[in-house]
Amino acid sequence: MKEKFYNYIEHLQDQITSKLEEIDGKAKFKEDLWTRSEGGGGRTRVIQNGNVFEKGGVNISKVHGPLPKTMQSYFNVGDVDFFACGLSLVIHPKSPMVPTVHANWRYFEMYDKEGTIVDQWFGGGQDLTPYYLFEEDAVHFHSVCKTACDKHNKTFYDDYKKRCDEYFYNSHRDEARGIGGLFFDYCKADDTMTMPQWYAFVTEVGDSFLEAYTPIVEKRKNLPYTKAQRDWQEIRRGRYVEFNLVHDKGTLFGLKTNGRIESILMSLPAHVQWVYDHHPAPNSKEEQLIEVLKNPVEWIDSA
């Protein structure tokens, strides 16, 4: 399973970076191959200073070896070995009219000292962080997510949409990071789903990413915007940074397992602001976004 899934994310990385380069029309992804001394490595691809994309990364990795003590405590296990692989991406567009997007699909195995698998699971998801709210874009993104889920289980979209709203939440700000999407973790074999069935589901979601995101980019990338709107985008990016550094489990896992720092922190935008005690003007488009972030919307119901 681990080789099958790693082959899948290698191919998916190629598909996504090729399509994003085509949309940008100027910038190309720079590729870095890296190794981890304890075992494994990855292929990092970063795009910067393009016509459409200011900064973004589409990274794959597979790491293995003894599970560090800090992560043993986190998983509540003893002295075990692990294998983890996944694709993680964050794309920060230049225009505040185009949303930031994040996605991740991953697979994890844990072994006893005889090399026997004692646990294995999939995780992942995809979510959207707009700076200006276009409701039809939110409906489109969530509709693609629901279609992917419904092919495997009619309850998945509602369950994983709710988990996404709960997970990507800046509790210290009392607001969501964005308008959500899907988030799932610890997807293990049970009476209802085998590991091959989980593989089929996770790859279905991965295959849906470009359909969910790129039509939104194409529709919004040439809209005009002002410096004030660009400032708002950078202020909101500050909230994105706060979530990734304060709450995100993936960032924590990377830092605690001696991951490659540049790859882990590629999710941070190039330009960002923290303005003291900032509040958007009443009844503005900016305030409209904040209201949605404080009160998650059932986007499919609003279609």
Q: Would you please indicate which residues are annotated as catalytic (active-site) residues?
A: 102
Interatomic CA distance for residues 182 and 198, integer angstroms: 15
- Given the structure tokens 């069935």, which residue do they identify? 197
- Check: CB of residue 79 under 8 Å from CB of residue 113: yes
Residue whose token pair is 């960002």: 272
Contact 150, 143 (CB under 8 A): no
Report the distance separating Cα 170 and Cα 164, nearest Å.
12
CA distance linking residue 66 with residue 253, whole number of Å: 14
Sheet holding 180-187, edge to edge: 30-35, 40-48, 53-66, 81-93, 100-111, 117-129, 180-187
Render 89-128 in DSSP notation, one character per residue: EEEEESSTTS-EEEEEEEEEEEE-TT--EEEEEEEEEEEE
Backbone angles phi, psi at 89, to 5 degrees: -140, 145
Diameter over CA atoms, the chain: 63
